[in-house]
Structure 1
Amino acid sequence: MAFIAPLKGVRFNTDKAGRLDDIVTPPYDVIREQSVEAFLSKTPYSMVRLDITKSPGTGAAERNRYVAAADLFKQWREEGILIRDQEEALYLYETRYTLHSGKNLVRRGLLCLVGLAEFSEGVVKPHEHTFDTVIADRLQLLQHCSAQFSQIFSLYSDRDNTVITLLESADSEPAGSVTDADGCVHSIRRVTDPTVIRQVQLFFRDQSLYIADGHHRYATALGYRRYLREQKGQLPETHPANHIMMYLCPMEDPGLSVLPTHRLLYWPGVLNVDELTTRLQPGFDLQEIHAGSRESLIEEALSRMDEIERRTKEKSSTSFGVYHPGEDRCFVMTMKDQGYDQFEIDDPCLKDLDVVVLSELIVKKYFGLDHKRCENENLIHFYSDPDEALDTAVKDSAEDDDITPLLFLMNPTRVEQVKKVADANHIMPHKSTYFYPKIMTGLLFYQLVDNEVINRLD
């Protein structure tokens, strides 16, 4: 079902650009505005100069930033700062990293081109909503630069590890290595053997792909193809705009990690702990956590949630932590059986998701905050780092007496849950998954060259 193809990747020439560690960045959508200047200060060749992270402006200012990115991309190619591989290849991408628990892991995947397919075709399957403003920004950048600067992270099923074994056994050459701010080591190797490439292409003919990270980038590529069709008419299947660069990782890879994304909910008013627990008790058993410090409270809550998750792995169980910074009290809440009957979602694959329970039962029903209000008033903020979320909750609670920040600690969504939801053509709430580590932006680009023919196996 999925068509994949090799590409002539564009990479930084470190002889001229300097250390890759200073150049590459996380994906644009996880870079906070206050971090942009830090990236820019490292090197004149920082990826944030191309893969624009700031919010769109208006009018001429908005257009100029895309023009500036396109001019810079062209200049760096002409100066040899960026070089394009002369031979098409598949790229083996390996990430070595350590979790907060101290566990060392290795994740391996494949960088390649994938034939674009509309979501309705069932070849590439999403699990999250997209936002038009983000797509509009990415589309402008793609239209001006004719290049894809960051990959889409997708999953596929390969219980026998066929693809990675093929790539690891083939002759290859190093194509870049970096260590990110978390100490994760990312390295890519070029595989150009035509026989191996064909074997990998044949494997994916029977596969569906599941987007893990990069829904906006995929929707942008679909929009760009529609834009070109309006300009030029129907494009041949081998046209570069009919393809997008992806990082493909087997969902059975033992190095694949999904971390939780915690929610900081800003209750628009004063809500004390007694009122909070009264709202939650119809659907949850609450156990208060006692510890010596705020940090210890959060750590103990996460530990107990993990214990509940492991103890009840064979049957459905939903648990959260909730911290009230104004009163410095923390609870672990476990869903009662009757809680599952209290919100209007029938599909079991959605009812099984902690993020859906929080969104539909707690926020919408118990707190009376619908999705539109939460979005319009920016009432929910998302954090992968619980310490950062805690610091923000405490700070905001102390500074504003008219709101009540409530920190909800989450369990991670499991890979098999992502697959079930996508196969059922459902969509999860925003920020339901956080695949870690992120794919680094700047290791490899896909330049869309209009007159080239993509080597896809049809």
Structure 2
Amino acid sequence: MDATTLVTPPYVAGPLRLEPFAALMLAPARVGNPTTGRAFARPYKDVSARLMRWKARGFVRADAEPALYLHEYTSAGMTVRGLVGALDVSRRAARPEDRAVLPHEGIHPAQADDLADRMEEMQLNPAPILLVHQGTVRLRTLLATVVTGEPDHAFTDRGGQQHRIWAIRDTELLTPISEELADSQALIADGHHRYAAYLRLQRRGAHETHEPRPATDFGLAMLVDQDATPLFLGPIHRTLSGTSLDDLRDAAETLGLEYTVHEQADAVHALSSVRLAATDGERWATVTLDVGQDEAAVEVLHRRIVPALAHGPASIAYHHTVEDALGGARPDAIAVLMPAPSVDLVLRVAAADRLLPEKATSFQPKPSLGVLIRSLRDESDAPS
């Protein structure tokens, strides 16, 4: 298989289950620290031992008892709250109606394999994947009760994120939370390749029949109620190298799309769910898209406009800010400013068993690395 080929990761079957686990937590001074990521770098087999040394020095805290964690974090004025637990990935969905987790982007198999190898060597899930869903009224009421209590941990990390964490261990709360999650469908907001890596690890451990169940039957996840404390869904802009603004105009005309020359301010102002803006650094234009029902602008760009370009693109670069995208604009490389799809649209695309093009969405803010970590070794060694 071509290394650039994107494939659909398998679907996990319901009921959606988030199980308690005993978290590792880096000390606040380590969370959000730019150097922390290097602690999870090569050689991966040494990472677990490194964390144990940090634990002895007080840099890592380890919960003695499993819990489901309610993690609230605030970044740049936005507050997000999600349940963090061990997502059951042991069952595959045979029918669309059985699916509990919905990916909306394809994955590179080699990248998922590499991530699975890293987690296996580290014996860790270093960070939760981000899932969003629409929680029930009862679930929101239950979690509101949790938030009224004092958090078990509250701190501001080195990156400026504020965190509050409640450990939920009371079965009188865990049982109804589990009941309310069972019928949920969750959309992957961030972590498609880590999700696919979880499934690969689960397959590798599927032959194990001992009790308790293998740690690889689960993967670390944060589930955010998009209706309660939503993540912001922003666009990801493109730079198409080897393509000119004239090529874009010709492709638009070939497809019967409206191509309009603008001044910069007017082009940016015209950006919408059915219109993209493009520039070569000097000239500006918009393309009005013929967007189908439940279709995103990014799908029209990649599946209709890009194939109709006379030249290129030789490569496509992705940018989270307009400034970064414009930095790559020149006569032979155009910056394409994209509108962000709505969360509802992404959900409809995923539920219809379609995938958006690569890097179509940017859910923000993400929690800092090191707040909640899951040890596979601790769970494997736990007594039955």
TM-score, length basis structure 2: 0.84
1:49 equivalent to 2:39? Answer: yes
Name the structure with the higher helix share. Answer: 1
1:25-424 maps to which residues of 2 (within 5 A)?
39-40=34-35, 46-50=36-40, 52=41, 65-98=43-76, 104-116=77-89, 117-118=91-92, 120=94, 122-158=99-135, 160=137, 162-170=138-146, 171-178=149-156, 181=159, 184-229=161-206, 233-234=208-209, 238-253=213-228, 255-267=230-242, 271=244, 273-282=245-254, 283-290=256-263, 297=264, 300-306=266-272, 309=273, 318-325=274-281, 328-335=282-289, 339=290, 348-349=293-294, 352-367=295-310, 379-391=315-327, 393-394=328-329, 397=330, 404-424=332-352
User: Relative to structure 1, is the Cα distance of residues 368 and 453 closer, same or farther in structure 2, using a 3 angstrom cutoff?
Assistant: farther
Residue 6 (structure 2) aligns with = none
Q: Distance in 2 between matches of 1:242 and 1:267?
A: 45
Query: Which string of whole-angstrom CA distances, capped at 9 and with x for unpartnered residues, describes residues 50-92 of structure 1?
Result: 1x3xxxxxxxxxxx62233343233323444222111322222
Task: Please tell me whether the aligned partners of residues 177 and 185 of structure 1 are also in contact (alpha carbons under 8 angstroms).
Answer: yes
User: Relative to structure 1, is the Cα distance of residues 108 and 254 closer, same or farther in structure 2, using a 3 angstrom cutoff?
Assistant: closer
SS at match of 2:152: strand
User: Relative to structure 1, is the Cα distance of residues 164 and 179 closer, same or farther in structure 2, using a 3 angstrom cutoff?
Assistant: farther
Counterpart of 2:373 (choices 445, 451, 455) is: 445
Q: Distance in 1 between matches of 2:75 and 2:267?
A: 25
CA-CA distance at 1:324 after TM superposition: 1.1
Q: Distance in 2 between matches of 1:113 and 1:453?
A: 18
CA-CA distance at 1:191 after TM superposition: 2.7
**Which letter does structure 2 place at the counterpart of 1:135?**
A
Query: Which string of whole-angstrom CA distances, capped at 9 and with x for unpartnered residues, describes residues 154-194 of structure 1?
Result: 1222253x33431231234232433575x553433323332
SS at match of 1:301: helix
Q: Distance in 2 between matches of 1:67 and 1:87?
A: 25
User: Relative to structure 1, is the Cα distance of residues 159 and 300 closer, same or farther in structure 2, using a 3 angstrom cutoff?
Assistant: farther
**Which letter does structure 2 place at the counterpart of 1:245?**
L
CA-CA distance at 1:305 after TM superposition: 1.6
Q: Distance in 2 between matches of 1:173 and 1:275?
A: 57
**Which letter does structure 1 place at the counterpart of 2:128?**
Q
Q: Distance in 2 between matches of 1:412 and 1:197?
A: 36
SS at match of 2:258: strand
Task: Please tell me whether the aligned partners of residues 147 and 445 of structure 1 are also in contact (alpha carbons under 8 angstroms).
Answer: yes
Gaps of 5+ in 1: 26-38, 41-45, 53-63, 99-103, 291-296, 310-317, 341-346, 398-402
Q: Distance in 1 between matches of 2:246 and 2:332?
A: 13
CA-CA distance at 1:95 after TM superposition: 3.1
Q: Distance in 2 between matches of 1:453 and 1:3?
A: 22
Q: Distance in 2 between matches of 1:226 and 1:278?
A: 48
SS at match of 2:277: strand
Residue 294 (structure 1) aligns with = none
**Which letter does structure 2 place at the counterpart of 1:47?**
G
SS at match of 1:281: helix
